[in-house]
Amino acid sequence: MSEDEIARLLLMASIEGGSPFWSKEVREQSATQVVELLLSGFYTGTKNSAEKITSHIKTLNPEQLVNEIESSNSQLITPSHSNWPVQVEDLLAPPFGLLVRGDSTLLTEPSIAIVGSRNPTSYGIRIAGEFAAGIADRDWVVASGGAYGIDTAAHKGALAAEGGTIVVLGSGINQKYPAGNERLFAEIEVTGALVSEVLPSVHAHPARFLIRNRIIASLSRATLVVEAAYRSGSLRTARDAAEIMRVVMATPGSITSPSSEGCHRLIANNEAVLVSSVGDVMELVLPLNDARMAT
Protein backbone atom coordinates (compact mmCIF):
# COMPACT_ATOMS: atom_id res chain seq x y z
CA MET A 1 0.00 0.00 0.00
CA SER A 2 1.06 3.59 -0.61
CA GLU A 3 1.89 6.06 2.17
CA ASP A 4 -1.41 7.81 1.54
CA GLU A 5 -3.39 4.56 1.84
CA ILE A 6 -1.61 3.64 5.08
CA ALA A 7 -2.26 7.11 6.48
CA ARG A 8 -5.95 6.89 5.57
CA LEU A 9 -6.17 3.49 7.24
CA LEU A 10 -4.72 4.96 10.43
CA LEU A 11 -7.25 7.79 10.32
CA MET A 12 -10.13 5.39 9.61
CA ALA A 13 -9.08 3.36 12.65
CA SER A 14 -8.79 6.39 14.94
CA ILE A 15 -11.43 8.97 13.93
CA GLU A 16 -15.17 8.42 13.77
CA GLY A 17 -16.55 9.18 10.32
CA GLY A 18 -18.32 12.42 9.56
CA SER A 19 -15.85 14.81 11.21
CA PRO A 20 -15.81 18.11 9.26
CA PHE A 21 -12.61 19.28 10.97
CA TRP A 22 -10.46 16.26 10.17
CA SER A 23 -11.91 15.92 6.69
CA LYS A 24 -10.98 19.56 6.05
CA GLU A 25 -7.45 18.95 7.29
CA VAL A 26 -7.02 15.97 4.96
CA ARG A 27 -8.47 17.92 2.03
CA GLU A 28 -6.22 20.95 2.54
CA GLN A 29 -3.05 19.01 3.28
CA SER A 30 -2.94 15.24 2.83
CA ALA A 31 -3.71 12.19 4.91
CA THR A 32 0.01 11.49 5.31
CA GLN A 33 0.74 15.00 6.53
CA VAL A 34 -2.19 15.00 8.95
CA VAL A 35 -0.91 11.78 10.54
CA GLU A 36 2.61 13.24 10.76
CA LEU A 37 1.27 16.42 12.38
CA LEU A 38 -0.77 14.39 14.85
CA LEU A 39 2.28 12.35 15.86
CA SER A 40 4.40 15.49 16.16
CA GLY A 41 1.94 17.01 18.63
CA PHE A 42 0.97 19.83 16.28
CA TYR A 43 -2.71 19.55 17.18
CA THR A 44 -2.11 19.29 20.93
CA GLY A 45 -4.31 21.69 22.85
CA THR A 46 -6.85 22.01 20.05
CA LYS A 47 -10.35 20.59 20.13
CA ASN A 48 -11.58 17.58 18.13
CA SER A 49 -10.02 14.94 20.44
CA ALA A 50 -6.54 15.37 18.97
CA GLU A 51 -4.71 13.90 21.96
CA LYS A 52 -6.97 10.86 22.08
CA ILE A 53 -6.58 10.30 18.34
CA THR A 54 -2.80 10.65 18.54
CA SER A 55 -2.60 8.18 21.43
CA HIS A 56 -4.65 5.66 19.49
CA ILE A 57 -2.60 6.00 16.30
CA LYS A 58 0.55 5.27 18.31
CA THR A 59 -0.90 1.91 19.35
CA LEU A 60 -1.64 0.82 15.77
CA ASN A 61 0.49 -1.46 13.63
CA PRO A 62 -0.04 -0.60 9.94
CA GLU A 63 0.97 -4.09 8.85
CA GLN A 64 -1.69 -5.61 11.08
CA LEU A 65 -4.31 -3.24 9.64
CA VAL A 66 -3.40 -4.28 6.11
CA ASN A 67 -3.55 -7.95 7.09
CA GLU A 68 -6.96 -7.40 8.67
CA ILE A 69 -8.29 -5.99 5.42
CA GLU A 70 -6.80 -8.79 3.35
CA SER A 71 -8.23 -11.39 5.74
CA SER A 72 -11.68 -9.81 5.45
CA ASN A 73 -11.65 -10.35 1.68
CA SER A 74 -12.24 -6.64 1.11
CA GLN A 75 -10.28 -3.91 -0.61
CA LEU A 76 -9.43 -0.40 0.44
CA ILE A 77 -10.73 2.25 -1.96
CA THR A 78 -9.26 5.75 -1.64
CA PRO A 79 -9.32 8.85 -3.88
CA SER A 80 -6.33 7.54 -5.85
CA HIS A 81 -8.22 4.35 -6.80
CA SER A 82 -9.96 4.13 -10.17
CA ASN A 83 -13.18 2.98 -8.46
CA TRP A 84 -13.27 5.78 -5.91
CA PRO A 85 -16.78 7.34 -6.01
CA VAL A 86 -15.87 10.99 -6.60
CA GLN A 87 -19.43 12.02 -5.77
CA VAL A 88 -18.76 11.50 -2.04
CA GLU A 89 -16.42 14.50 -2.25
CA ASP A 90 -19.57 16.64 -2.30
CA LEU A 91 -19.91 15.91 1.42
CA LEU A 92 -18.67 18.31 4.05
CA ALA A 93 -17.00 15.28 5.64
CA PRO A 94 -16.26 12.62 3.02
CA PRO A 95 -14.91 9.28 4.23
CA PHE A 96 -11.13 8.93 4.51
CA GLY A 97 -11.49 5.67 2.62
CA LEU A 98 -13.97 2.90 1.96
CA LEU A 99 -13.65 -0.83 2.44
CA VAL A 100 -15.49 -2.76 -0.24
CA ARG A 101 -16.33 -6.44 -0.51
CA GLY A 102 -17.75 -7.39 -3.88
CA ASP A 103 -17.85 -5.38 -7.10
CA SER A 104 -16.26 -2.00 -6.36
CA THR A 105 -16.98 -0.75 -9.89
CA LEU A 106 -20.62 -0.30 -8.81
CA LEU A 107 -19.52 2.69 -6.74
CA THR A 108 -18.85 4.60 -9.95
CA GLU A 109 -22.12 3.62 -11.64
CA PRO A 110 -25.24 5.83 -11.53
CA SER A 111 -27.30 4.84 -8.51
CA ILE A 112 -30.47 5.72 -6.65
CA ALA A 113 -30.85 5.29 -2.90
CA ILE A 114 -34.02 3.73 -1.52
CA VAL A 115 -34.52 4.09 2.23
CA GLY A 116 -37.36 3.89 4.69
CA SER A 117 -38.87 2.37 7.79
CA ARG A 118 -37.45 -0.65 9.60
CA ASN A 119 -41.05 -1.55 10.46
CA PRO A 120 -42.87 -1.11 7.17
CA THR A 121 -46.34 -2.18 6.17
CA SER A 122 -46.87 -4.80 3.48
CA TYR A 123 -47.62 -1.88 1.14
CA GLY A 124 -44.22 -0.33 1.85
CA ILE A 125 -42.37 -3.60 1.29
CA ARG A 126 -44.14 -4.15 -2.03
CA ILE A 127 -43.54 -0.58 -3.24
CA ALA A 128 -39.85 -0.62 -2.27
CA GLY A 129 -39.30 -3.94 -4.04
CA GLU A 130 -41.15 -2.86 -7.17
CA PHE A 131 -39.35 0.49 -7.40
CA ALA A 132 -35.96 -1.18 -6.86
CA ALA A 133 -36.65 -3.79 -9.54
CA GLY A 134 -37.79 -1.11 -11.98
CA ILE A 135 -34.72 1.01 -11.30
CA ALA A 136 -32.44 -2.01 -11.74
CA ASP A 137 -34.20 -2.92 -14.99
CA ARG A 138 -33.12 0.48 -16.28
CA ASP A 139 -29.50 -0.33 -15.45
CA TRP A 140 -29.25 1.89 -12.40
CA VAL A 141 -27.70 0.62 -9.17
CA VAL A 142 -29.84 0.56 -6.02
CA ALA A 143 -28.13 1.74 -2.82
CA SER A 144 -29.41 1.32 0.72
CA GLY A 145 -28.32 0.46 4.24
CA GLY A 146 -29.06 -3.24 4.59
CA ALA A 147 -31.44 -2.76 7.54
CA TYR A 148 -34.63 -4.71 8.05
CA GLY A 149 -37.73 -3.37 6.35
CA ILE A 150 -37.56 -1.02 3.37
CA ASP A 151 -33.78 -1.39 2.94
CA THR A 152 -34.07 -5.16 2.72
CA ALA A 153 -36.99 -4.95 0.28
CA ALA A 154 -35.01 -2.58 -1.94
CA HIS A 155 -31.94 -4.83 -2.04
CA LYS A 156 -34.09 -7.88 -2.76
CA GLY A 157 -35.96 -6.05 -5.51
CA ALA A 158 -32.71 -5.14 -7.24
CA LEU A 159 -31.42 -8.72 -6.95
CA ALA A 160 -34.69 -10.11 -8.33
CA ALA A 161 -34.21 -7.92 -11.38
CA GLU A 162 -30.60 -9.14 -11.67
CA GLY A 163 -29.35 -5.62 -11.05
CA GLY A 164 -26.56 -4.17 -8.98
CA THR A 165 -27.09 -3.13 -5.38
CA ILE A 166 -24.86 -1.52 -2.77
CA VAL A 167 -25.14 -1.95 1.00
CA VAL A 168 -23.55 0.81 3.07
CA LEU A 169 -22.99 -0.83 6.44
CA GLY A 170 -23.07 0.82 9.84
CA SER A 171 -20.44 -1.64 11.03
CA GLY A 172 -17.30 -3.32 9.74
CA ILE A 173 -17.35 -5.72 6.81
CA ASN A 174 -16.86 -8.67 9.18
CA GLN A 175 -19.55 -7.51 11.61
CA LYS A 176 -22.51 -7.38 9.26
CA TYR A 177 -25.60 -6.01 10.94
CA PRO A 178 -28.37 -7.01 11.27
CA ALA A 179 -27.33 -10.64 11.63
CA GLY A 180 -30.66 -11.80 10.26
CA ASN A 181 -29.65 -10.42 6.85
CA GLU A 182 -26.42 -12.41 6.66
CA ARG A 183 -27.76 -14.59 3.84
CA LEU A 184 -28.88 -11.49 1.92
CA PHE A 185 -25.46 -9.89 2.36
CA ALA A 186 -23.76 -13.07 1.12
CA GLU A 187 -25.92 -12.96 -2.00
CA ILE A 188 -25.13 -9.29 -2.55
CA GLU A 189 -21.39 -9.95 -2.32
CA VAL A 190 -21.62 -12.03 -5.50
CA THR A 191 -23.08 -9.39 -7.82
CA GLY A 192 -23.23 -6.26 -5.66
CA ALA A 193 -21.07 -4.61 -3.04
CA LEU A 194 -20.83 -4.22 0.73
CA VAL A 195 -19.30 -0.90 1.73
CA SER A 196 -18.03 0.45 5.06
CA GLU A 197 -15.95 3.41 6.23
CA VAL A 198 -14.74 1.58 9.35
CA LEU A 199 -12.33 -1.30 9.80
CA PRO A 200 -13.61 -4.88 9.35
CA SER A 201 -13.89 -5.77 13.05
CA VAL A 202 -15.77 -2.64 14.20
CA HIS A 203 -19.14 -3.43 15.75
CA ALA A 204 -22.40 -1.66 14.94
CA HIS A 205 -23.32 1.37 17.05
CA PRO A 206 -26.58 3.36 16.92
CA ALA A 207 -24.88 6.70 16.16
CA ARG A 208 -22.85 5.13 13.37
CA PHE A 209 -25.97 4.35 11.36
CA LEU A 210 -26.85 8.03 11.23
CA ILE A 211 -23.27 8.87 10.27
CA ARG A 212 -23.21 6.35 7.42
CA ASN A 213 -26.47 7.75 5.99
CA ARG A 214 -24.49 10.61 4.45
CA ILE A 215 -22.55 8.05 2.38
CA ILE A 216 -25.76 6.46 1.09
CA ALA A 217 -26.99 9.92 0.09
CA SER A 218 -23.74 10.99 -1.55
CA LEU A 219 -23.20 7.80 -3.55
CA SER A 220 -26.56 8.27 -5.24
CA ARG A 221 -27.89 10.76 -7.78
CA ALA A 222 -31.18 10.81 -5.87
CA THR A 223 -32.76 9.43 -2.70
CA LEU A 224 -36.22 7.87 -2.57
CA VAL A 225 -37.95 7.57 0.80
CA VAL A 226 -40.54 4.78 0.96
CA GLU A 227 -42.52 4.81 4.21
CA ALA A 228 -40.95 6.71 7.05
CA ALA A 229 -42.49 7.59 10.40
CA TYR A 230 -42.60 11.17 11.64
CA ARG A 231 -39.29 10.56 13.42
CA SER A 232 -37.16 8.33 11.26
CA GLY A 233 -33.49 7.86 10.45
CA SER A 234 -34.51 7.81 6.80
CA LEU A 235 -35.37 11.49 7.07
CA ARG A 236 -31.75 12.10 8.06
CA THR A 237 -30.68 10.48 4.79
CA ALA A 238 -33.10 12.75 2.94
CA ARG A 239 -31.63 15.81 4.66
CA ASP A 240 -28.09 14.65 3.89
CA ALA A 241 -29.07 14.28 0.24
CA ALA A 242 -30.70 17.71 0.09
CA GLU A 243 -27.64 19.36 1.66
CA ILE A 244 -25.48 18.23 -1.26
CA MET A 245 -28.09 19.16 -3.86
CA ARG A 246 -29.31 15.65 -4.60
CA VAL A 247 -32.89 15.04 -5.69
CA VAL A 248 -35.11 13.81 -2.84
CA MET A 249 -38.27 11.85 -3.63
CA ALA A 250 -40.97 10.27 -1.49
CA THR A 251 -43.85 7.89 -2.10
CA PRO A 252 -47.24 8.76 -0.59
CA GLY A 253 -49.17 6.38 1.61
CA SER A 254 -52.48 6.31 3.39
CA ILE A 255 -53.27 9.55 5.22
CA THR A 256 -54.11 7.46 8.28
CA SER A 257 -50.86 5.47 8.26
CA PRO A 258 -48.22 6.51 10.84
CA SER A 259 -45.68 4.69 8.65
CA SER A 260 -46.08 7.36 5.97
CA GLU A 261 -46.14 10.47 8.16
CA GLY A 262 -42.49 11.22 7.45
CA CYS A 263 -42.97 10.95 3.69
CA HIS A 264 -46.03 13.17 3.82
CA ARG A 265 -44.12 15.76 5.85
CA LEU A 266 -41.29 15.82 3.29
CA ILE A 267 -43.79 16.29 0.46
CA ALA A 268 -45.86 18.93 2.29
CA ASN A 269 -42.73 20.95 3.15
CA ASN A 270 -41.50 20.77 -0.45
CA GLU A 271 -38.48 18.83 0.77
CA ALA A 272 -39.24 15.89 -1.51
CA VAL A 273 -40.91 15.35 -4.87
CA LEU A 274 -43.93 13.05 -4.79
CA VAL A 275 -43.40 10.02 -7.03
CA SER A 276 -45.90 7.26 -7.72
CA SER A 277 -44.08 5.21 -10.35
CA VAL A 278 -40.63 4.26 -11.54
CA GLY A 279 -41.34 6.43 -14.55
CA ASP A 280 -41.65 9.45 -12.24
CA VAL A 281 -38.28 8.59 -10.72
CA MET A 282 -36.53 8.27 -14.06
CA GLU A 283 -37.94 11.57 -15.31
CA LEU A 284 -36.19 13.24 -12.39
CA VAL A 285 -32.83 11.45 -12.58
CA LEU A 286 -32.24 10.97 -16.31
CA PRO A 287 -31.53 14.68 -16.91
CA LEU A 288 -28.92 14.44 -14.15
CA ASN A 289 -27.28 11.49 -15.86
CA ASP A 290 -27.36 13.23 -19.26
CA ALA A 291 -25.71 16.29 -17.73
CA ARG A 292 -22.98 14.14 -16.19
CA MET A 293 -22.28 12.37 -19.49
CA ALA A 294 -22.00 15.74 -21.25
CA THR A 295 -19.28 17.03 -18.89
Tens digits of residue pLDDT in 180-231: 999 999 999 999 999 999 999 999 888 888 899 999 999 999 999 999 988 8
In this structure, the answer to whether residues 136 and 49 fall within a common structural domain is: no
Q: What is the DSSP letter of 246?
A: -
In this structure, the answer to whether residues 31 and 177 fall within a common structural domain is: no
Task: Provide Rg for the chain, Cα atoms.
Answer: 19
Measured CA to CA in angstroms, residue 28 lies from 17, 155, 160 at distances of: 17, 37, 44
Domain membership of residue 7 (yes or no) is yes
Domain membership of residue 98 (yes or no) is no
Minimal CA–CA distance to 117: which of 108, 128, 106, 131?
A: 128
Average pLDDT over residues 171-180: 91
Q: What is the DSSP letter of 114?
A: E
In this structure, the answer to whether residues 160 and 244 fall within a common structural domain is: yes
Average pLDDT over residues 137-166: 97
The answer for residues whose C-beta is within 8 angstroms of residue 214's C-beta and 6 or more apart is 18, 91, 93, 237, 240
Domain membership of residue 96 (yes or no) is no
pLDDT at 290 over 60: no
- Domain boundary residue, one of 22, 54, 71: 71
In this structure, the answer to whether residues 22 and 115 fall within a common structural domain is: no
What range defines the domain where residue 30 resides?
3-71
Domain membership of residue 285 (yes or no) is yes
In this structure, the answer to whether residues 150 and 220 fall within a common structural domain is: yes
In this structure, the answer to whether residues 61 and 124 fall within a common structural domain is: no
Domain count for the chain: 2
- Claim: this prediction has a pTM higher than 0.85: yes
Q: Check residue 231 and give its pLDDT.
A: 81
In this structure, the answer to whether residues 194 and 60 fall within a common structural domain is: no
Angstrom distance (rounded) from CA 240 to CA 218: 8
In this structure, the answer to whether residues 67 and 119 fall within a common structural domain is: no
Tens digits of residue pLDDT in 229-288: 888 888 999 999 999 999 999 999 999 999 999 999 999 999 999 999 999 999 999 876
Angstrom distance (rounded) from CA 126 to CA 131: 9
Looking at residue 156, which CATH number applies to its domain?
A: 3.40.50.450
